[in-house]
Amino acid sequence: MPKVNKKVFSIVLAVLFSFILWGSVTLSNSYYTTLKVPVRLTNLPKGYAVSRMSINEVNLRIKGEGWRLASLILSNNLEYFVSAGLDSQSKTINLRNALGENTWLSSGIQLFDLYPDLLSVSMEKITERKLKIRPELSMNFKADFGLVSGIKVIPDSVVVYGPGSIVNSLEAVPTVSRIFKSLDDKVLERVDLKNIPGLSYSTGSCVIRFDVQKIVDKAFENLEVEVRNTPRGEDLVVFPNSITVVLRGGINILGKLKSEDVHPFVDYNQVIKDTLGIIEPEIKVPDYITVIDKKPNQLQYIIKKY
């Protein structure tokens, strides 16, 4: 190894050793910190669930060696456990009395303060109810692409368990919010149900499915105009009796669409309300297809009576 490289290596090694030594000494010192920790109620009576908690988190002012505090700060599963004592009555609990249930606060950690220090809790009997799942989706598309189907949710419903006051207040169970960007193809994705405190579900997720296609236009020519609801003894005649319809939709859907799938029509009940002698035909098309144009847009008509 060249002398210059040896010198650089020695310097790097010395700096690294210094950092390790400094870190070791620093983490051995004692420090204060404040942790915000979720409150978890334990020892609930059988068949009961929490319907209300006055607080969901508690602030703990603690002291300990740096490395112990660092491990707590970096932990993502800390909870402050509080026992309900298998009692279904509404109550107020002093959180300082629950220190013995939180062994992670004992070894090498000193608790100096805890706030708030009181927890008011109410419980109700567990009830169950089957509810629809409501997808919470936001989506945007690449240029010239769009949604060409409904949003299919599998399963479409879920059994919800929890306090009756909460369960009965729900109209549906939402999923977590999901954002889809620059879509240009169909989507099939599993999405979690939104966590609602106090509730549990028969399944925690669902599959979301919908179709995205390139959006195009297509003209259907010489479509015969159907006349509907003409009473007996009368005949409604329209001029012209065939039209061209321009539709917009997904490229795969329009590619399979036939003339017999597009239904222009006029309704006698609308004609008799007209005072101008012309009427605009209506167009019945499959879902997720849009009528862009009709040629002609208005029809003349006569009513024959027998």
pLDDT average, residue stretch 180-204: 95
pLDDT higher than 90, residue 227? yes
Q: CATH classification of 215-305 is 2.40.50.140, yes or no?
A: no
pLDDT average, residue stretch 175-183: 97
pLDDT average, residue stretch 193-222: 96
pLDDT higher than 50, residue 118? yes
pLDDT in tens, 239-283: 999 999 999 999 999 999 999 999 999 999 988 887 788 999 999
Residue 197's pLDDT is: 85
Residue 249's pLDDT is: 96
CATH 2.170.120.40 in the chain, residues? 127-213
Lowest mean pLDDT among 25-29, 64-68, 140-144, 146-150: 25-29
pLDDT higher than 50, residue 87? yes
pLDDT higher than 90, residue 128? yes
8: confidence class by pLDDT, cuts 50, 70, 90: low
pLDDT higher than 90, residue 148? yes
135: confidence class by pLDDT, cuts 50, 70, 90: very high
Return the CATH fold of 29-124. Answer: RNA Polymerase Alpha Subunit; Chain A, domain 2 (2.170.120)
CATH 2.170.120.30 in the chain, residues? 29-124, 215-305
pLDDT in tens, 21-73: 334 444 445 778 888 899 999 998 999 989 899 999 999 888 888 777 888 87
Query: What φ, ψ does residue 169 adopt, rounded to 5°?
Result: -85, -10
Residue labelled with tokens 């240009």: 184
Residue 21's pLDDT is: 39
Angle at 123 between CA 118 and CA 124, to 5 degrees: 165
Lowest mean pLDDT among 16-20, 234-238, 251-255, 268-272: 16-20
CATH of the structural domain 127-213, one choice from 3.90.1510.10, 3.90.79.10, 2.170.120.40, 2.60.40.4070: 2.170.120.40
Residue 10's pLDDT is: 52
